[in-house]
Chain A
Amino acid sequence: MDRRKFLHRAVGATLAGWSLPQIAGFGSALAADPPLPVLAVAHGPSPAEITKAAIAAIGGIDRFVHRGDRVVVKPNIGWDRTPEQAATTNPEVVAALIRLCLDAGAKSVLVMDNPCNDPRRCYLRSGIAEASKSAGAEVRFFEEERTRKMLIRGEMLQEWPVHPAIVEADVRINVPIAKHHGLTGVTLGMKNWLGALGGPRNRLHQEIDRAIVDLASFFQPQLTVIDGVRVLMRGGPQGGSLEDVQRLDTVIASADAVAAERRGATLYGRRPDETPHIAMAEERNLGRGSWREEEEIRVEVPAS
C-alpha cells in the first residue's frame, strides 16, 4: 500500500465512522417513532381487562411475543390458598396473559411453579391450573428430577438446579403477585424466580437479597406483569386472613424487571432504597436504569 492510498482510506474510514451514527440518528428522528414506554399501570375492576390494557400501553404483546415463540408464564402458585387470600397470582390475570400470547401467535404457552405446599392443592386451589388450561396453556408440575444444575454465575449463587423448561423458552413472562414478606419486606417479581429452582431453596434466605438479584439477572424476563388486584399487606408471603388483603385493582406491566419491582414496591408506600434487593439490582444495572416514576403510563379501565 502506498502512502496516497493509505491516506485516502484513513480519511474515508474516519468520515464514515463519524457520520454513520449521525445519519442513523437523523433517520430514526425522521420516522418519528417515539421510544416505547417502559412501564404502565392499569387500574379497574376487571383483572383480565386491566392486564390487557397495561400491556397494550407498553406497546402490546407483539413487542414481546412473536409467531412461533415458546412462551413460559411464571405465576406465583406457591401456597395452598384461594385467589381471595391473595397469596397466589390472580388466575384471571394469568389467563388474560396466556390468551394474549396465543393470539400473538405463540407456538406454546407453559405455566409452572415450584410451590412450597402440596403442588396439586396449590395448582387447584389457586385457580391457576384451571384458568390456564382453559386459556389454552400447558400446565406442568415442577418435578425435582427434571431439574438440571445450571451456572447462575451470580454474586452468591454459582450453580443451582433449575427447571430447563423455564430457561429454554423463547420468551419468559414473570407474573408475580405483590405481597408482604417477612424477610424482604415485599415480594414481587425477582423473588418469584425462586419458584423456578429445585434444590434446598430454604438455604437462600440467609442472603436472600443477593440471591434474588442473582436470579433476576439469570432469568431476565422479557416482560414482567405484577398482579396488584388483591394485595397482601401483612402476614405474607402466605397470608390466609382476608383482613390482611386489600383490593387495589391494579396491574403493572413492564419490559424492565427492575422498574416493575420499583413500581410494585410503591404499592406498599415503599421507596426503592428501603428495599435492599431493588437497590442492589439497580447498582448492578439490571434494569435500564433511566426509568423514573414520572414516566409511567396510567390507564383507567372502567367497568364495562
Chain B
Amino acid sequence: MLRRARIAVQLASLALFFYLLLRTVGIGEDRLGPPVRLFLEIDPLIAISTWLRTGALHGLMAISLATLIATFFFGRFFCSWICPLGTLSQASGRLLRGRREERSAERSTRSRRWKYLILAFILGGSAAGVLWVGLLDPISLLIRSLSVGFGPPLEALVRSAAAGLAFSPAAAVTEPVYAWIRDHAMAPRAPRFEQGALLAGILIVLLALSWIRRRFWCRILCPLGALLGTVGQAGMLTLRQREGACSGCEVCAFHCQGAADPDVAGGWRPSECFVCGNCTAGCRQGSLSFGLARPRLAALFRRRPHARENPPPTAALDPGRRRILVSFVLGIVSGPLVRATPSRARPQANLIRPPGAGSEAEFLDRCVRCGECMKVCVGNGLHPAGLEAGPGSLWTPVLRARIGYCEYHCTLCGQVCPTGAIPTLTQAEKEKAVLGIAYVDPGRCLPFAYARPCIVCEEHCPTSPKAIVLEEVAVRVPGGGERRLQRPQVLPERCVGCGICEYRCPVDGESAIRIAATGRTGEGSFLPTA
C-alpha cells in the first residue's frame, strides 16, 4: 500500500520535474507561466544555505520549511517520493545491476557518513562566506546538468530529425507534433553551452555510481539527504517490528533502497530510510509497519544514544562528532580562502553577470548555480563560468557574448532565479540594467582596420537612442582616391552591455566589439556617470 503510493507519487513528481524543466523556455511572452523553480523552492538545503548568507528567504523559499516539518514527521520521504535525482539514481541502479545482484541484503556501511561531512562543509562555507551548496545540491545539480549538458544535444537531435522527416510521408504526423514540442518545450534557437559535455558527464558518473552500490548518490554523497536524514533521525517516524514475527529472511533488507537495516531489531536507521515502503510491502510475515513515536530530539545529541534503553528503538546517527566538526571548520576556512580572489576586489572584465545582478559579492552570496537562468536565456547568452574567478564562482552564470546575447526586453532569467541572485526586473528596470560596456577594437573592426563598410553592431544596438553611433569619415585608400566610411563609436552612458553587438560582429574569431564587465548596476564604473 505504502509502496504503491510511493511509486505513484514518485513517478508523478519526476514527470512534474521534467515538465517544469521543459517549460523553462521563453515562448515570446514577457512573463513565464509555470512555476518552473518549484523544486528548488521546496529544497531546504538551498533555503538554509542562502539564508545563512543573506539572512533572508527569497520568493517562495519559505515553503521549504514545510519539507523540513514533513520530514520531522515522516522521515526522509523526500528522497524516494519527491527527489528527481533520487528517482533517477534508483532507475539507473535497476538498469545497471539487474535483479540478480539485488538478491543479497545490502547493509549500511560506514561510507554513509560522507554525506554528513559534505553537509557540514557546505554549511560551514555558507556561514563563512562561500555558497558551496549549488555544486552538490541534488536539485541544483540535476537542473544544471540536464539544462546545460543534455538539453542542447537533445534539442539538436529533435530539430534535425524533424527537418529530415519534413519531406517524408510521415511529415503529416511529425510536423505538427514537432511544432508543438518546439514551441512549448524548446529554446527559440538551438542552444549550445560551454562545459556542456563536462556537466553531462558529471551526471552520468553520479548515476553510474549506482552500479557499485544501489543509490550510491543518495546513501553516500547527497548533502540534502544528510540534512533530511538528520531531521528524520530527530523526528517521529519509526519502523515497528511485530515481536517474534521476524523469520530472519532478510527480504526487507534486500529491497531496502537506503540500506537502513529494517530487519535489525532496534537497529533501523531513520536517517538512512527513504520510506520507500519496500520493506513493509516485502515482508512475508507482515511484521513491519511504519508508525509515529515520541520525537528523538534529545537522542541526536547524546554521545551514546539509547545506551540505557533496552532494546534501543533505533540505530544512532553516528557520523562522528570530531569528523563533523573538522569538516565544518574546513568549510569555514574555505570561506576566506575562496573569497580572496582578485575578482572580488575589482571587476574582472570577462565576468559579465546577468542583468540586475547587483555587486559581485551580493551575487555570489545568492547564486546556487542551478542553471535555470542559462536554460531560459532566449539569446543563449548565459553560460556556466569556469575557474577564471576561482572555485567560488564555478558554474555561476556569465554572459558569453560571442556565443549569445542578452535580449533587450527579456526579463526571464530574473523570473526563474530561485534565490534572487538575479532580481525579477520590470520591463523598464531591465532596459536600464547595465551588464557591462561595449568597446570597439579598432585593430579588428572592419571600417577601422580594413576600410570596409559594416555597421552591423550599430544596426543591432537595441537602446533608443542607440549606444553605438556612426562617425562618418573619409579615408584615403592605396592607389589614390577616398572612401567614405561609417565607424562605430560607443556612447558608454547609453550602453547596457547586452552583447548583441559582440554576438553579431561579422569578424571571425574574437569579435571586433566586445563587452567588458564594468559599470554594472550595483557596482561602479571607471567612467563617471553623466
Instruction: Name the B residues within 8 Å of A161 (CB-CB).
Output: none
**CB pair A182 B28 closer than 8 Å:** no
Let me know if A202 is at the binding interface, CB within 8 A: yes
The answer for the CA separation of A183 and B465 in the assembled complex, in Å, is: 17
The answer for the CA separation of A183 and B458 in the assembled complex, in Å, is: 10
Let me know if A273 is at the binding interface, CB within 8 A: no
Let me know if A239 is at the binding interface, CB within 8 A: yes
**CB pair A80 B408 closer than 8 Å:** yes
Binds B, one of A44-52, A113-121, A213-221: A113-121
Let me know if A274 is at the binding interface, CB within 8 A: no
> Which partner residue on chain B sits nearest A123 by CB separation?
B28
**CB pair A200 B166 closer than 8 Å:** no
> Contacting B453 at CB < 8 Å: which of A116, A183, A239, A244?
A183
Q: How many interface residues does chain B have, given as a range?
A: 35 or more
**CB pair A206 B453 closer than 8 Å:** yes
Let me know if A205 is at the binding interface, CB within 8 A: yes
**CB pair A183 B463 closer than 8 Å:** no
Let me know if A158 is at the binding interface, CB within 8 A: no
Minimum CB–CB distance for A214 against chain B, Å: 16
Q: How many interface residues does chain A have, given as a range?
A: 20 to 34
Instruction: Name the B residues within 8 Å of A239 (CB-CB).
Output: 464
Let me know if A152 is at the binding interface, CB within 8 A: no
> Contacting A118 at CB < 8 Å: which of B159, B163, B410, B459?
B410
A 199-232 binary contact with B (CB < 8 Å = 1; else 0): 0101101101000000000000000000000000
Instruction: Name the A residues within 8 Å of B458 (CB-CB).
Output: 182
Let me know if A149 is at the binding interface, CB within 8 A: no
> Contacting A182 at CB < 8 Å: which of B160, B408, B459?
B459
> Which partner residue on chain B sits nearest A206 by CB separation?
B452
Instruction: Name the A residues within 8 Å of B409 (CB-CB).
Output: 80, 121, 125
**CB pair B27 A206 closer than 8 Å:** no
**CB pair A121 B190 closer than 8 Å:** no
**CB pair A182 B486 closer than 8 Å:** yes
Minimum CB–CB distance for A33 against chain B, Å: 42
Let me know if B379 is at the binding interface, CB within 8 A: yes
Instruction: Name the B residues within 8 Å of A145 (CB-CB).
Output: 159-160, 163, 190
The answer for the CA separation of A203 and B505 in the assembled complex, in Å, is: 9
Contact A80 B446, CB 8 Å, known A203-B506, A205-B456, A235-B465 = no
Contact A202 B505, CB 8 Å, known A118-B26, A183-B486 = yes
The answer for the CA separation of A118 and B377 in the assembled complex, in Å, is: 10
> Which partner residue on chain A sits nearest B378 by CB separation?
A118
The answer for the CA separation of A238 and B93 in the assembled complex, in Å, is: 54
Within 8 A of A (CB), among B148-164: 159-160, 163
Instruction: Name the B residues within 8 Å of A238 (CB-CB).
Output: 459-462
Instruction: Name the A residues within 8 Å of B160 (CB-CB).
Output: 145
Let me know if A237 is at the binding interface, CB within 8 A: yes
Instruction: Name the A residues within 8 Å of B163 (CB-CB).
Output: 143, 145-146
**CB pair B465 A118 closer than 8 Å:** no
Minimum CB–CB distance for B458 against chain A, Å: 5
Within 8 A of B (CB), among A257-272: none
Within 8 A of A (CB), among B1-58: 26-29
Minimum CB–CB distance for B305 against chain A, Å: 58
Instruction: Name the A residues within 8 Å of B29 (CB-CB).
Output: 124
Let me know if A241 is at the binding interface, CB within 8 A: yes
Within 8 A of B (CB), among A127-164: 141, 143-146
Let me know if B470 is at the binding interface, CB within 8 A: yes
The answer for the CA separation of A205 and B160 in the assembled complex, in Å, is: 29
Let me know if A240 is at the binding interface, CB within 8 A: yes
Instruction: Name the A residues within 8 Å of B506 (CB-CB).
Output: 200, 202-203, 205-206
Instruction: Name the B residues within 8 Å of A205 (CB-CB).
Output: 453-456, 459, 506
Minimum CB–CB distance for A125 against chain B, Å: 8
Let me know if B188 is at the binding interface, CB within 8 A: yes
**CB pair B463 A240 closer than 8 Å:** yes
Let me know if B407 is at the binding interface, CB within 8 A: yes
**CB pair B452 A119 closer than 8 Å:** no
Minimum CB–CB distance for B136 against chain A, Å: 33
Interface CB pairs A-B, < 8 A, 9:
A117-B408, A119-B188, A121-B26, A125-B28, A141-B188, A182-B486, A202-B505, A202-B506, A206-B454
Closest 8 CB pairs of A and B: A240-B464, A120-B28, A124-B28, A202-B506, A118-B378, A241-B464, A145-B163, A202-B456
- Where the two chains meet, the residues of A that have a C-beta atom closer than 8 Å to any C-beta of B are 80, 116-121, 123-125, 141, 143-146, 181-183, 200, 202-203, 205-206, 208, 235, 237-241, 244
- Where the two chains meet, the residues of B that have a C-beta atom closer than 8 Å to any C-beta of A are 26-29, 159-160, 163, 166, 182-183, 188-190, 378-379, 407-410, 446, 452-456, 458-466, 470, 486, 504-506
Known: A120-B28, A121-B378, A205-B506. 16 other contacts (CB 8 A): A116-B459, A116-B460, A117-B408, A120-B26, A121-B407, A121-B409, A146-B163, A203-B506, A205-B453, A205-B455, A238-B459, A238-B462, A240-B462, A240-B463, A240-B464, A241-B464
